[in-house]
Amino acid sequence: MLRVSSTQLLAPTIDGLGVVSDSQVKRATRHFVLLAAPGSGKGTFAQYAVEQFGYKHLCVGDLLRAEVAAQSELGKQVKPFMERGEYVDERITCALIAQHLLKIVAENGSFIIDGVPPSESSMRFLIDLFAKNNLTHQVSFVQFVLSDDASVQRIKGRVICQACAYVYNLHWVQPKINGVCDRCNSALTPRLADNEEITRKRLAFFHQHVEPLLAFAASSFKVKRFDTEKDLKELHAEYTEFLA
Ligand SMILES: [Zn+2]
């Protein structure tokens, strides 16, 4: 049984067996699915939720990049698509999502899914997966709104740590030392798929294929919308209010 009840998280502790820390005492178990254009700030939201509130970031791009880096069979299969900034076969992606999602839920974690394949069949797959595991009432969709031009500007300034995959933005979330990861001192480099031409292609794809899925999701789930054309401090205050 994979159902996570809030009473488990809120259960009182018996003297001598330890104390439940504040971060473990959540209002209720909640999970999020992020549907947003590239560069609109969903990664920043996810990093914040992970660091401040202990959410598990189920980032499809990271999972696929890890497979490529490990040179697994799956990694070899998906590498050319990723290098062209194209979407990977949704059957592969959905299987990866399910595998990692079930693991997180089994450990009583809260997940944030980032990178759902942009198709109605993938959306149905997810909805079925939630229903089978009694998660439907705990899931919300989150949308981030930003103009295409602003998205392109943000992506141009984005660099990623080669070792720990932490993402910085030279306009926004800067590392303390230029070109060096704050967390592990490894080198920061732009990602291959982050050039303007690929970004414009992905934005067009988003408007055509992903935006309609938000309307689809809104018929069964709550949808929270953030306008990310604000400074980071203001956004963090909104995220805290939403996540706490
Ligand atoms: Zn790092």
Report how far Cα 170 is from the mean position of its chain's Cα atoms: 20
Single out the residue of 210, 216, 217 nearest to residue 118, CA to CA.
210
C-alpha 234/C-alpha 132 separation (Å) is: 37
Name the nearest CA neighbour of 235 among 159, 173, 155, 188: 173
Phi and psi at residue 60, in whole multiples of 5°?
Answer: -60, -40
Give residue 41 CA to ligand 1 midpoint distance, Å: 19
Both structure tokens of 172: 């926004």
pLDDT at 9: 36
Residue-wise pLDDT tens digits, 201-225: 889 988 998 889 888 889 889 999 9
- Tell me, what's the pLDDT at 94? 92
Contact 114, 60 (CB under 8 A): yes
Q: CA nearest 102: which of 3, 211, 202?
A: 3
Amino acid at 150: A
Token pair belonging to 200: 């414009």
Query: Ligand 1: distance of its center to the CA of 62 in Å?
Result: 14
Mean pLDDT of the chain: 84
State the distance from the centre of ligand 1 to the C-alpha of 163, rounded, in angstroms: 5
156 torsion bin: left (phi>0), alpha (psi -120 to 50), beta (else): alpha
In order of their start, the domains of the chain are 29-243 (3.40.50.300)
In what helix (H) or strand (E) does residue 223 lie, and over which residues does it extend?
Answer: strand 222-227
CA 241 to centroid of ligand 1, rounded, Å? 28
Residue 86: per-residue pLDDT? 78
For residue 119, the CA-to-ligand 1 centroid distance in Å is: 33
Question: What spacing in Å lies between the alpha carbon of 5 and ligand 1's midpoint?
Answer: 35
List beta partners, residue 112.
Answer: 32, 57
Give 179 Cα–ligand 1 centroid separation in angstroms.
Answer: 11
Output the CA 232–ligand 1 centroid distance in Å: 21
Question: Measured in angstroms, how far is the CA atom of residue 44 from the centroid of ligand 1?
Answer: 15
C-alpha–C-alpha distance, residues 55 and 47, integer Å:
9
Cα of 157 from ligand 1 centre, angstroms? 17
In the structure, what pLDDT confidence band is assigned to residue 12 with cuts at 50, 70 and 90? very low
Distance 50 CA to ligand 1 centre (A): 15
Residue showing tokens 């759902």 = 116
Cα-flanking dihedrals φ and ψ of residue 226, to 5°? -115, 130
Pairing of strands 158-161, 167-169: antiparallel
3-state secondary structure of 160: strand
Model pTM? 0.75
Amino acid at 55: Y
Distance 83 CA to ligand 1 centre (A): 21
CA 192 → CA 42, 57, 73, 89, 196, distances in Å? 19, 22, 21, 20, 11
Q: How much distance in Å is there from the Cα of 75 to the middle of ligand 1? A: 22
How remote is the CA of residue 188 from the centroid of ligand 1, in Å? Answer: 8
Tens digits of residue pLDDT in 161-205: 989 888 888 777 789 999 999 999 999 998 766 788 888 988 998
pLDDT band at 27 (very low <50, low <70, confident <90, very high): low
Question: What percentage of the chain exceeds 90 in pLDDT?
Answer: 48
**What confidence tens digit (pLDDT) does each residue in 72-127 have?**
998 999 999 888 877 788 898 999 999 999 999 999 999 999 988 888 899 999 99
- Ligand 1 geometric centre to CA of 65 (Å): 15
Output the pLDDT for position 8. 35
Ligand 1 centroid to Cα of residue 190, in Å, is 13
Instruction: Give 164 Cα–ligand 1 centroid separation in angstroms.
Output: 4
